[in-house]
Amino acid sequence: MNKIISITLSLLMMLTMMANPLLAAQDESPDLLNTDRFGIEKSDNFARSELVLYQTIHGLILGIEFCGLIQCDDERLAVGSVMAGGLGGLAVSLLNTDGGITSGHTLMLNSGTTWGLWNGFALNMIFDNWTDEQLFSGTMMAAQLGGLGAAVYLWDQLRPQAGDVALMDSTGFWSGILTLMGVAALDLDMSTQEFFTLMLAATDLGAVTGAYYTIDNPMPRGRVFLLNTGGVIGAAVGFGMAVMIFGEDVDQSVSFGSGFLGTLAGLGLSFMLSDGWQLDLSSI
């Protein structure tokens, strides 16, 4: 179980870093999109480059998964599949952003892809598909493309800004981290299926909660970074306090319990201290 927790924690951190790269300053593109939240979010070339890079990598992954789906045992077919996937992701993302794209739109599409990847992986573990390469690959492809398709639809309906999407990603991520800490602190004896069912429910519910909150509470992306910083510092202090008090042989339950409380306190404190922030998008 400890190995499963470690692998899942690493995957969650990797996916969150992929979905939330720090955007550069906006340029002076005349192509503007007024969202009536924090004023105007501009289209810029950096956001376009971010989308192209991410979706090209996504295409490469789809190429690998397609090869697993069709059981290609020829090296040239395998390489061709990966190349076709990468070039497809590159072409689609470039051709559909000729008029520019905002950072919120980019983050929404990349986030949808990432959440599809995580959901596909978790579902494969829940249904024990990892032993069947074709079923595993097919499930992953369907989940990733489904997540991207859902993101396209939700963007068209809601038009979130970058901070809104970042909060959704962060609440999903921290829900997963807190759940991991809780499982470790309570030393729960869970099967792989039970563990990933719990993790999937926690992360998806956290993401949905964050997204729902932003409907009436628009979130500057700078504030989301502060919330994440508070969570990281809180976790470090929580784990550190356990070691300081009980020494290096501190019990796992005490260590993770302290980390859980520290993370929760860090997130809560940073949320309260940043209440009322109204940052202009050009300064984020």
Domain residue ranges of the chain, discontinuous segments joined by +: 2-283
Alpha carbons 246 and 243: distance in angstroms, whole number: 5
Alpha carbons 62 and 5: distance in angstroms, whole number: 26
Q: Dihedral sign, CA of 162, 20, 211, 224? A: negative
Band of pLDDT at residue 111, cut at 50, 70 and 90: very high
Band of pLDDT at residue 222, cut at 50, 70 and 90: confident
Q: If we measure between CA atoms, which residue out of 218, 230, 233, 225 comes closest to residue 276? A: 218
Residue 1's CB: how many other CB atoms inside 10 A? 14
Bridge partners, residue 102, by sequence: 43
Band of pLDDT at residue 276, cut at 50, 70 and 90: confident
What pLDDT shows up at residue 68? 95
Residue 196 in this model has a pLDDT that exceeds 70: yes
For residue 111, give every residue at least 6 positions away whose Cβ sits within 8 Å of its Cβ, in sequence order, or none. Answer: 19, 151, 165, 168, 169
With contact defined as beta carbons under 8 Å apart, do 98 and 155 qualify?
Answer: no
With contact defined as beta carbons under 8 Å apart, do 82 and 157 qualify?
Answer: no
Q: Dihedral sign, CA of 138, 142, 148, 151? A: negative
The percentage of residues in the chain with a pLDDT greater than 70, rounded to a whole number, is 83
What pLDDT shows up at residue 206? 98
What pLDDT shows up at residue 19? 44
Residue 252 in this model has a pLDDT that exceeds 60: yes
Bridge partners, residue 40, by sequence: 34
Mean confidence (pLDDT) of the chain? 87
CA 25 from centroid of its chain's CA atoms: 22
Alpha carbons 210 and 148: distance in angstroms, whole number: 19
Helix (H) or strand (E) holding 42: strand 40-42
Number of H helices, E strands in the chain: 9, 2
* Residue 205 vs residue 247, higher pLDDT: 205
Structure tokens at 97: 């952003």
